[in-house]
Structure 1
Amino acid sequence: MLSFRLEITTTMAASCSLVSCGEEREADKAVIVQFSNGSVRNAEKLDFTLYKNTDQSNPRKKSRRIVVAESDRLSYVGQNFGTGSLKCNNLCKYYVGVLNKQTKQMEVHSAQIFNMQPAVPGEATEAEKLQDASQTYRDKVDSLIEAFGTNKQKRALSSRRLNQVGGEMLHQAVAKAANTVIDEKGLEALQQEVAQTESQGDLALHLPPCNADAHTPEDVYPLDNLLSPVEFEALEQAGSKLAAITTEELQKMRDEGGHLCVVKHLENLPSDGDAREKITRCSFYLSLLLKLARQKNITRKFGQEEGCPRPIQVKLMKTFTVETFNNGRLQNVVSSSMRAKLAAYCLALLLHMDHMTTDLTLLHRDLGLTEARMLEVAKSMGLTLTKPPRGSADEDGMRDKHRQASLVLPLVKYDQFRERRKRKKMH
């Protein structure tokens, strides 16, 4: 083991004293080297050089040092970082004493140990060895072609690499664009849109449970599938509030553009207790469905102002909304396919409220859907569509032709009609 700063003496006088050097600088630290392949007989024939990292601002790199010892025959290299460094520097602290012969005082300096290994010219470094190990058979063949291949082989290699780079760039661009769209809309909303586009109006997946073999119209789309008995009981308090609504409040709802389907049923409540209770509870649930169809982003507080019970709120979120991620937050969104589902459930609920015949025009206006879309929903449910004759007027005296939808057994099967666009003539 050899030190640059250590003056070795065989005996120390009794008058010598030990003095600490205090807070020393980086340049005052001693360097101790040991050679891995033997011992040095004459240290004066070695030319030592100490290198330090230039990045002094990085706390992990500013303490990196490399020691190089050059002789006439061979060079030795040691470093305090990487795989070739000694772990003892991290576990222990080493000190070197330097004796001043004039003052008889010994200064103590901290030191680091470097393991010097011979550097053979032409030998591959550790980084090059790792790179060679990671190369595949194809990479090695390409390297041989670059060095010794013919012009034809080199042109083929260059063409293949250009195609590979172009394919990777295209793949990265497509992946980046897809991730951007997914982050903005959400995966489930995109899946719903794709399903809607592929089906091209097929609403079978969004209809309420249907029993086509039922013997009575009421059992085709059972009310229990629209509102379970537990959910129906949860609407007792909300239904009681609607049953006590005054004429002035109903007129205010109509003037403010309220849901006409709900207002119509509240203005004509039956006198029978059970039937009255059924209409009021279904009307409250219908008003929530109509409000939900008009919104896009749904918060967790939806329906709280109207006094919506918690079971109904959970049912609306799970049945008629899609969960999406937007800027790292989870949101409930009413997609276009969910709006069609809301239309189907509202239509089935109105059939039970109107003795299996309801006003289709009034419903599509409250939902904010087009008449063509509403007709698609009614046809997919197998309903019978009727239109009042010419010249007839509605309750307000307006010649507004309202379509009626009725559930009549057996259900009507409509043929799917797809419009063909005419080709434009070239002039």
Structure 2
Amino acid sequence: MQDGDDVDDFTARSTVIAGETETVDFTGSNQFEGESSGSSYFLALHRPGSKQVILQPAPLYIVTRQVKALKIHQSLAPSTHQRVQARNALGETFGTKKAKAAIRANERNKVDAGAMESVAGVLQDRIDEGTENLPTQDEAKVAADAARLIPPYNAEAQTPEDAYPLLQIIPEQEWNALDGLVQQLKGAASDTDRYRMLPFVRSTWIRQHLRRAFSGPKPKNKDAKMLMCIAAMITFRGAVERSVPEKAKLLDRMSPIPEVLIDGLLARFTETARGSASAQMTTEKDTSLLTHTFALCLKTDNFATDTTLIASDLKMSLPRVNTLFRSLGCKIEALTPHDLKRLGLAESAAATKHATLKVPIAFPKPRAKRRA
């Protein structure tokens, strides 16, 4: 090694050394992870002739050893089950009472998959038998729609007018019984006199619509009869909301509504509990009465009803009234300029949201449950 450059070149090379004994293998390399080993090493060469010591760079080798007898054994990482067992063992030994109780509870709740294999086929057969008679998604939707607390409807209606047939909201016999009252309304001298002829006299919505119905030279009998029905339904709800009074008192309070109409309301919107002799209005019956009333309001309003005004008249919260209109398939939205023109409303009416009904009827979908 008389040439220093040759030694320098050798230390820069990537080299490997190896050795062995009867029981151990040794291997090493002068290449390290990272940029450098952090140190430099030199050999001191003493030349007797010149009496000089020369420092020559030398490579560094990190040597590892491996026992020959252990080469066939490979260490395996512990499984999840082994980790859980080890953690539980530590918890049982050093854990608190609460931690030990949790460990025992987890052990009790474990499912023995091996034991379940023998009964898996039986369980599957029972599941198949139990699901044979379950309704399809379409059948379930039809059943859910039929159970809605709303008037009978026509899902294939081409116009909003046909969506809820009038005589499905109020039977024909009761509808025809109002003809005489309509003639009396037409013969009244003023709107105030007409309003006093109705059984319910504290409704801004009814007052406005009664004035509008008789504002023209030829008022429509249909509009007047629908207003009479709405007034009768609202009055009936207030009269039986807490308890159904005696028939004579109910007839007096709802005068001049015909008795046949009152009997129909009692039959459809009250029920008698088993073992009881008195009728009552349940929550479901109340909801049904309100949706029947609101369906008539939609027809009177050309299918765009101001829900804020109705909520105020009925002393109900606006969200509940809006929910009932949505159950009829309505959307609660602001009116467009085209709607305002079609309905003959002022531009200021656009500031108030209305319940609008369009076809085909689209009922609200059930809300998905939030994850805990």
Q: TM-score normalised to the size of structure 2? A: 0.49
Between Structure 1 and Structure 2, the one with more helix by share is: 2
Q: TM-score normalised to the size of structure 1? A: 0.43
